Amino acid sequence: MWRRMRARHGLRAAGASGAAALAALAIGACGEASKDTDLVAGKQLFVKNCGACHTLSRAGTKGTTGPNLDAAFAQSLKDGLQRDGIRGAVAEQIAHPRAGSLMPAGLVKGGDAQDVAAYVATSVAKPGQDAGLLASAVKQAGTGKPIAAKNGVLDIPTDPGGQLAYVTKQATARAGKVTVESKNASSIPHDIVIDGKGDGAVVANGGVSKFTATFKPGTYTYYCSVDGHRQAGMQGKLVVK
């Protein structure tokens, strides 16, 4: 039932009117958030809890279920909106999502919510990349070593931190019957699919998506079929020899 559903942890996609409303809220909320925030923790929490649904270039996230945050605030910043205003607006949205939003209220709370809001406000629509401690705050997902099938089982876990990636983009197996499985330790729903071979169930919170198929030598693409996940780069190559 979850297949190709939108992830439940993001804001609904917003058009120009939604971005304008958010900007208006930001102006009214300016200065409400505490200045005593941890940007490193904010980046880590954002990637884990929000990155599957939102694009934020400096955080390296490419979610498409919710608004692209860089695009949503770019014009408002040009028009003079201050980043303190964005911080207040983001904190308000976390605590009280708009009616009909896919994001649950209080996805992160208290100081964590303030940290996320501060990081988003500092980073949104800003060219370049994070530096210093922020640059290494989140390990880039999908950069693990190739995984080889063992005893007919190919286990390709998803990123445990909730990023839209498997732990590796490369896998190998011998020709014949192979069980392809992917454990998902995060709360973001994922599955694993190889066209023409099988599609595992969408799972979360420790569930395992899996299927069994017979493979001939060749190269295959495995990917997550949940809306927006493959488009964000959640896929890899399986080489069968």
pLDDT per residue as tens digits for the range 144-166: 899 999 999 999 999 988 899 99
Residue 12: the pLDDT is 35
The CATH class, in words, for 16-136 is mainly alpha
Question: Which residues of the chain are under the pLDDT cut of 50?
Answer: 1-34
**CB-CB neighbours of 44 under 10 Å:** 21
Residue 101: the pLDDT is 82
DSSP code per residue over 140-155 = PTTBSPPEE-BTTEEE
> Angle, to 10 degrees, between the axis of helix 69-78 and the axis of helix 16-29?
60
Residue 65: the pLDDT is 84
Residue 161: the pLDDT is 83
82-85: list long-range contacts, CB under 8 Å, 24+ apart: 82/30, 83/121, 83/122, 83/124, 84/30, 84/31, 84/33, 84/121, 85/26, 85/27, 85/29, 85/30, 85/31
Residue 216: the pLDDT is 98
The CATH class, in words, for 147-240 is mainly beta
Buried b / exposed e over 66-84, threshold 16 CB at 10 Å, is bbbbbebbeebbeeebebb
Residue 105: the pLDDT is 87
Residue 70: the pLDDT is 97
Residue 140: the pLDDT is 82
- Write the pLDDT tens digit of every residue in 12-38: 333 444 444 444 444 333 333 445 899
Residue 18: the pLDDT is 44
Q: Could you tell me the residue ranges of all domains in the chain? A: 16-136, 147-240
Please give the Cα distance from 55 to 60 (Å, whole number): 8
Residue 219: the pLDDT is 98
Stated pTM of the model: 0.72
DSSP code per residue over the chain = --TTPPPTTSPPP--HHHHHHHHHHHHHHTT-S-S---HHHHHHHHHHHTTTT-EEGGGTEE--SS--HHHHHHHHHHTT--HHHHHHHHHHHHHSPPTT-SSPTTSS-HHHHHHHHHHHHHHTT--S---GGGGGSSPPTTBSPPEE-BTTEEE-PBPTT--SSBSBSEEEE-SEEEEEEEEE-SSS-B--EETTTEEPPPB-TTEEEEEEEEE-SEEEEEE--STTTTTTT-EEEEEE-
**CB-CB neighbours of 214 under 10 Å:** 9
